[in-house]
Amino acid sequence: MTPGIRSLQIHYDSLKLHQYQLIEFLLKAEEQLGSIHDVEVPGRIVHLPLSWDDGSTRLAIEKYMQTVRADAPWCPSNIEFIRRINGLDSVEAVKNIVFDASYLVMGLGDVYLDAPVATPMDPRHRLVTTKYNPARTWTPENAVGIGGSYLCIYGMGGPGGYQFVGRTLQMWNRYRQTDSFHGNKCWLLRFFDQIRFFPVSEQELLTIREEFPLGRYKIKTEDSPFRLDEYNTFLRENDESIHAFKLTQQNAFDEERQRWADHGLAAFTSDVDSNALHREAVVISSTEIAIVAHMPGSIWKIQVNPGDQVQQDQTLIILESMKMEFHIPASATGTVSRILCQAGDQVRQGQELILIDTRQ
- 132 belongs to a structural domain: yes
* Residue 208 and residue 131 in one domain: yes
Residue 110's CATH number:
2.40.100.10
- 332 belongs to a structural domain: yes
Integer Cα distance of 277 and 43 in angstroms: 56
Nearest 5°: CA angle at 330, between 329 and 332?
145
pLDDT at 275: 47
* Residue 190 and residue 279 in one domain: no
Q: Answer whether 188's CB lies under 8 Å from 95's CB.
A: no
Q: Which among 333, 345, 351, 354 is positioned nearest to 67, based on CA atoms? A: 345
Integer Cα distance of 310 and 248 in angstroms: 58
The amino acid present at 106, given as its one-letter code, is M
Beta strands 117-120 and 103-107: pairing type?
Answer: antiparallel
- 279 belongs to a structural domain: yes
Kindly state the helix (H) or strand (E) to which residue 196 belongs, with its residue range. Answer: strand 194-199
* Residue ranges, the chain, pLDDT below 70: 182-184, 269-280, 323
* Residue 131 and residue 233 in one domain: yes
pLDDT at 97: 97
Q: Answer whether 331's CB lies under 8 Å from 352's CB.
A: no
* Residue 143 and residue 226 in one domain: yes
Environment class of 340 (CB within 10 Å of its CB; exposed 0-12, middle 13-18, buried 19+): middle
- 29 belongs to a structural domain: no
Residue 307's CATH number:
2.40.50.100
- Structurally, the chain folds into a number of domains equal to 2
pLDDT at 238: 97
* Residue 307 and residue 235 in one domain: no
The amino acid present at 14, given as its one-letter code, is S
The predicted model scores a pTM of 0.79
Which residues 6+ apart lie within 8 Å of 205 measured at CB? 49, 51, 54, 167, 168, 169
* DSSP state for residue 129 in the 8-state scheme: B
Q: Answer whether 182's CB lies under 8 Å from 189's CB.
A: yes
Beta strands 334-339 and 352-357: pairing type?
Answer: antiparallel
Q: Which among 88, 97, 86, 144 is positioned nearest to 120, based on CA atoms? A: 97
* Residue 92 and residue 41 in one domain: yes
* Residue 287 and residue 214 in one domain: no
Integer Cα distance of 89 and 109 in angstroms: 34
* Residue 189 and residue 331 in one domain: no
* Residue 213 and residue 106 in one domain: yes
Environment class of 354 (CB within 10 Å of its CB; exposed 0-12, middle 13-18, buried 19+): buried
* Residue 154 and residue 87 in one domain: yes
* DSSP state for residue 202 in the 8-state scheme: H
* Residue 230 and residue 194 in one domain: yes
Q: Answer whether 195's CB lies under 8 Å from 46's CB.
A: yes
In which domain, by residue range, is 345 found?
274-357
Q: Which of 262, 292, 314 is the last residue of a domain?
A: 262
* Residue 79 and residue 210 in one domain: yes
- 12 belongs to a structural domain: no
